[in-house]
Structure 1
Amino acid sequence: MTDSEIDPSVPPSGTGCVECDEHGGWWVHLRRCTECGHIGCCDSSPAQHATAHFRETGHRYIRSFEPGESWFWDYATAQGFDGPSLAPPESRPVEQGSPGPRDRVPADWQEQLERLGRT
């Protein structure tokens, strides 16, 4: 792990998944790239943008962007690890909810995830 792969000074790209926000999507949980701050949705989410970001950029380390969670993950080794504090905010707003954002989560979201094999 190099200093450039985890940059504690880089703020998150926003409070929600960048791509879902651009295209009106929704997510289950959020993940934060430790190198560039990109916020993407988790692998339980329909679009899996955090993993797509790793595949597109090679940025292998993420941190949970959920309230009360501070775990890190290495996509290359599929292992968790402890890491440093990152620039605030360290999570999405609590009132945003999960799944979220509330105004875009479909009423049948659980069935949609089951159809996608995400549960």
Structure 2
Amino acid sequence: MSPDAAVVVRKEAMRARDAAERAWEAVDEAKDRPAQISSGPTVVLASSPGMFQGFRRSMQAEASFARGSALLEERKYKEARDSFAEATVLYPEHDQARALLGWSEYFLGDYRGAALTFKTALRRQPTWEGL
């Protein structure tokens, strides 16, 4: 290996290690943050036809998020990405799921997808250090 190639490999390894550290910090931060499922009104009429459907979707989103978090810790990035994507489809305001979706995309080498996901998350949470 040429000296220039060795330098490039060393730099890329350091970047990957730094990215991994940031991802694990984001996972830890997401664990410590209380889940914020409901952003709507706290009083809902019992006759509201979508009340139970919305509740069920938010519960499914939380289950997908929990599954994705466990898979991310196991370094099963593809499965984690799928779970986080499902959580954000079910509940688009789930910022933690969106952030960890970005990290799982990053670890899969989908840098463009990760950048788009991070930008979307940052529009909603511009001061979040987990990104």
Same fold (TM over 0.5): no
> Which structure is higher in RCO with an 8 Å CA cutoff and minimum separation 6?
1
Bigger fraction of residues in helix: 2
What TM bracket, shorter-length normalisation?
under 0.3
Using the size of structure 2 for normalisation, the TM-score is 0.22
- Structure whose alpha-carbon radius of gyration is higher: 2
Bigger fraction of residues in strand: 1
